[in-house]
Structure 1
Amino acid sequence: MRASTDNSVPTTEWEGPAGFERFGLAGRFAVPDARRFRSTWRGLVVDGVQIGEWSTSPISGAQRPRRDAAAVMLVHVAEGSMRYWSDGRAVDARTGTLHLLSAADQIRFAVPEPSRMIRVTVPAAFLPQEVRAATSGSVGQVPVTRVTSGLTSLVEQVLDPMFGGASSPAARAVRALAVAALEDSVPEAAEHDLRSQILDHIERHLADPDLGPQSIAAAFGISLRWVHHVFNVDGASVARHIRERRLDMVAATLQSDRRFPRIGALAERSGFAARDQLTRAFKARYGMTIAEYAERAGEGRPPAPLAGDGAESA
């Protein structure tokens, strides 16, 4: 293993059997032929953000997770290819693709050919709360955008052995652009995962009259704006979904109970703050009163909800 510095850019090289043995201290790895093994890391930390370029001959293994600090990694495959496994999923990382990984996860990978990758590691503390929540685990491949392409180009400038370094003009923009790139890279998959968690939270708290966008934001540690952003992927609002699920509960009760329940009790069990609020919302959704619905349900003919309703928010 050799370490050097070109214009304030530290470089470490591992070569041959001895180099591979030292490289293996960072995790569990395997190579086709240790005699031909060659791996180079050039990197530095700029304003708390680690940037680097990893060039390697074929290698496979698993890198140890960093449990000491929560961080998010953007990995750009500049040359070659890699396959990695995260949460049981296999992802093929080809030249030109960008991938979002969590430093806290153990990532298994296989590099089948000589490859070069650009990596940017951003501490989670630098990220807005909503982005931190959406990237708490490895996400996988994310779209390449103008912002992420700009970050990759900037990192290569900072790592340039002739003109780069931590004190170069380009280095001053690394942190801001890295955070912007992560905000730009939060993919639909991560948003849908967060939305699924919110839906589950709603189902478990329907009877709570305080359930709403603000309480959800507080429960997940995200902004109110982000709650609405994540939830509105299909055009439905959070408040409307909560109201409709509460009305579904009421309708199910009317279909299963032989005796007509008190409306006040129905409102309390389904999370409505007042019986008047329940009766108005129910009629708007089903086009009839609760008593009329109960009568139809008793005859085995429960009406379906109307195509749309104009009930006020829950």
Structure 2
Amino acid sequence: MRGEGIARRRATAWSDWITNADVCREFATVDGSGLFAGTRVVDLGVAALGVKRFRPIHLQWETDPVWTGDADIVQLIVPRRGTVNATWAGRQDTVSVGDLYLHDLAQLDEIRLESDGDDDALELALVAIPKPVLPLGGESMAPLLGHGVPVDGGVSGLLKGFIEDLSDEKLSLNPADGQRLGMVLVDLVAACVSSVLESGPGPRPGSQRQTLALRIRTYIQRHLDDPDLTPRSVATAHHISVSYLHRLFQEEGDTVAAWIRDQRLQRARRDLGDAALVDVPIHEIAARWGFGRPAEFSRAFRTAYGVSPREFRSETARWSSRP
């Protein structure tokens, strides 16, 4: 239990690095210099985006910090200028512009920020997301934590571009828009992690089978609110047999029914995290996405995300109301 308490205190201290420009008491700065050269925080409700400018600095965890709160957070670092050398759970990695770095705050040991040029300018975009908000279990994310991820033309590139757009100083968001974009950001982080971890052969790029598979998935996403959406109705709409439909999904490691359920759960989760829908009853949100029985929805939601729909809504509301 003591080890768990230390991990939670560590996560809290590092999370303050995102949201509070004055917090230094939980770390030791190796050279004793000031921590920040400038900071800006974008309110995204369920997620926090900090755009921070630093002087070259080395932050190191102290052995006996004061517990300032309760946090269970994953952080994504996107270097905009400069290089980050981080040690996470004893694992050291270096990331620079063009990379992403995802880690569990509770296991971050130290971090060194270095300039790439003659000047001392460093700038990072830092995203903090509470673990209960992410549609990924801790075990599934573990292989990626503490490692740099090169940005390519796929989902990682989309994620980096989205974060850069949100980091624009000219961007102005009202609370409801910030909340919605926060949920989009969470989904993109989850999609990026899944894409990087995904393995196994899929359909040959550009093949007719892949084109059909993509068309079918698009069709399903457009009809998620239809309670009569089933593998048979999908197969009929595309003039193929149910068995052939199942083979298309099996080639990508999915089943049709499971993919439909997962997509519906993701839409419901996004609505539950939307501050503009806080007064809409949970059973109405569930029905909106094809779940006719509240108990069935609650069980599926807890299985997928580890918390009940009510607990998730409460957690996202608590996070978005943090000062």
TM-score, length of structure 2 as denominator length:
0.45
Larger-Rg structure: 1
Bigger relative contact order (CA 8 A; separation at least 6): 2
